[in-house]
Amino acid sequence: MSVEDSHIDRELCGDNAAPYVLGALTDYEHEAFRLHLDSCAVCREEVAALQVVASALPAVAPQLNAGPELKRRVMASVHEDVGSSEAEERALSARSRRGPRLAWLQWRPLLASGALAAAAVVIAVLAIFSGGGGSGGARVIHAEVIPAHARASLRVSGGHGQLDISGMPQTPAQRVYEVWIKRSGGPQPTDALFTVTAKGDATVGVPGSLNGVKVVMVTTEPLGGSKVPTSSPVIVARLS
Amino acid sequence: MGGMFNSLRSGGGSGSTERLRVLADEELMQLVYRSKADAFEVIYDRHADAAYSLAYRICAQRALAEDVVQEAFLSLWRSRARYERDRGSVRTWLLGIVHNRSIDALRRRAVRDRGIVHDEGLQERVAAPERTDLDVARREEAREIRDALEELPDEQSRVIELAYFGGMTHVQIASMLDTPVGTVKGRMRLGLAKMRMALGDPAEVVQ
């Protein structure tokens, strides 16, 4: 980068560090500045300096008591997760005792088709594996994602789902991501609307039970969400 | 850590929870990683009030704030495998989730009176008095941070509060205040820089 380029960059980004750490850039600006940080040590340094102040701001809020009922709700969900994980682990353990050959035989007709693309889709969409190494035994379904470099998985535990997303682009201005579920009919909206972090990450709970749900998908919608999808899905996780 | 965790791993119930309370958050997260609900309960007890306070400050509705906090803690629990201590404290990570989700909830529900702390139920929900030295230290740090913010010129503290607690973009703030965008950004930068000066190095100040 030339001195001139550096000067231009500095002028362009100099005052974006503060709104960046406060979450006050528009989506487009946020994404552009995030990319800019990769190449601008000055801005990285400024962001690091201001971020510590922004991280301390929660202390400014009047301190309140969360109350016992909220704790009961949270811990009930946690214990439910633990219980269902243990049950799933037992089921997986029993399945593994029957031998891995069964699983291979189940997939063999699909793989035998020889179509690499089809196999890739099968792997991407239906790759379900036990959650060792800390996933607590939850069922994890890898989703199809656009763009291809992004990643998304649906973690299913205790009849509930959570999308773990990384590398997704920021939504355009005045738009958010919306989660949809499909049972037998068309997609049903949920109230799960979200944006992603500067790194494109998000962890989003799928509202309600996943009983009978065949597909969980995400589209980009106007602020406030839509009742029917207005854009093509960018994330599709198939449960069956 | 082996011996300590081995002895804790076999425990259960409230006795175990009491022994867990002496552990640091980062040590607790290693147990949470192994799906230990009692370790997670200690994390919850330590940070629930701060999480709820932040959510309520942003959402200004008790039910909405409770939903946000519940989602944030369950996100922490279900994403426990992704926690990396090198990237910041558990509290900072959690409050970051709460902030993002509160802003999302605010935009989703189109709450127009954001930034205003309602009186609804506050009297019975005010945090309990300090119980531990850590509580006392946190209160003192919080007071210093509040002081640093309040000592800023009004135009600087206002843009910081509208952005962080109001979930507004600098463009929206500029429009609301009828002020150029560049001025708003400059006030944010100056305000944060002055706070940093006033606080010394507030890195991980509220742990």
C-beta neighbour count of A219 within 10 angstroms: 23
- The band of B103, judged by pLDDT with boundaries at 50, 70 and 90, is confident
Pick the residue of A47, A70, A72 with the most B CBs within 10 A to test the interface with B by mutation: A70
Record: contact B145-A26, CB cut-off 8 A: no
> Measured in whole angstroms, how far is the alpha carbon of residue A179 from the centre of its chain?
10
- Residue of chain A whose Cα is closest to the Cα of B98: A58
Task: State whether A70 and B48 contact (CB < 8 Å).
Answer: yes
Q: Quick check: A59 and B50 CB within 8 A? A: yes
H helices of chain A, in order, are 3-13, 17-21, 27-37, 41-56, 68-97, 101-112, 116-126
CATH 1.10.10 fits A3-60, yes or no: yes
Mean pLDDT of B24-35: 90
Triad B7, B11, B14: Cα angle to 5° = 130
Rounded to whole angstroms, the Cα distance separating A130 from B201 reads: 44
Q: What tokens were used for A78?
A: 């946690």
For residue A55, list chain B residues with Cβ-Cβ distance below 8 A.
88, 92, 95-96, 204
- Please tell me the pTM assigned to this model: 0.60
Q: B32 in contact with A at a CB cutoff of 8 Å? A: no
List, in order, residues 6 or more apart from A31 with CB less than 8 Å away: A169, A170, A198
Please state which architecture CATH assigns to domain B13-127. Answer: Orthogonal Bundle (1.10)
Which chain B residues contact residue A57 at CB under 8 A? 145, 149, 160, 164-165
Q: Where are the alpha helices (DSSP H) in chain B?
A: 2-9, 13-20, 25-33, 37-59, 62-78, 90-109, 122-125, 133-150, 154-164, 170-177, 181-199
Contact yes or no for A65 and B126 at CB 8 A: yes
The residue extents of the domains of chain A are 3-60, 69-238
Q: Are B177 and B184 in contact (CB under 8 A)?
A: yes
Chain A residues lying within 8 Å of B158, measured CB to CB? none
Give the amino acid at A55: S
Spatial CB neighbours of B144, under 8 Å, sequence gap ≥ 6: B199
Are the beta carbons of B180 and B174 closer than 8 angstroms?
Answer: yes
Q: Which residues of B touch A164 (CB under 8 A)?
A: 79, 82
| β partners of residue A164 | A153, A203
Could you tell me how many CB contacts below 8 A there are between chain A and chain B?
213
Sign (positive/negative) of CA torsion B144, B147, B153, B154? Answer: positive
Pick from B110, B107, B102: which is nearest to B67 by CA? B102
Q: What class, spelled out in words, does domain B130-199+203-207 have in CATH?
A: mainly alpha
Structure tokens at B38: 């009692």
Which of B32, B170, B50, B123 lies closest to A136, judged by CA?
A: B32
Helix, strand, or coil (residue A239): coil
B4: alpha, beta or left? (left if phi > 0; alpha if psi -120 to 50):
alpha
Q: Where are the domains of chain B?
A: 13-127, 130-199+203-207
Q: Which tokens is B48 given?
A: 């629930």
Give the integer Cα–Cα distance in Å for A77 and B176. Answer: 41
| List of chain B residues whose C-beta atoms are within 8 Å of the C-beta of residue A23 | 99-100, 103, 163-164, 167
Q: Which of B33, B35, B91 to substitute to test the interface with A, most A CBs within 10 Å?
A: B35
Per-position pLDDT tens, chain A of length 240 = 443 444 444 455 658 999 999 989 887 888 888 888 888 888 999 999 999 999 999 998 988 899 899 999 999 999 988 877 666 666 666 666 654 444 444 444 444 444 444 444 444 444 444 333 344 457 889 998 888 788 899 988 878 888 999 888 888 777 788 899 988 777 888 888 888 877 788 888 888 888 888 899 998 887 777 877 888 888 989 887
**Whether ipTM exceeds 0.90:** no
Separation in Å, CA of A119 to nearest CA in chain B: 28
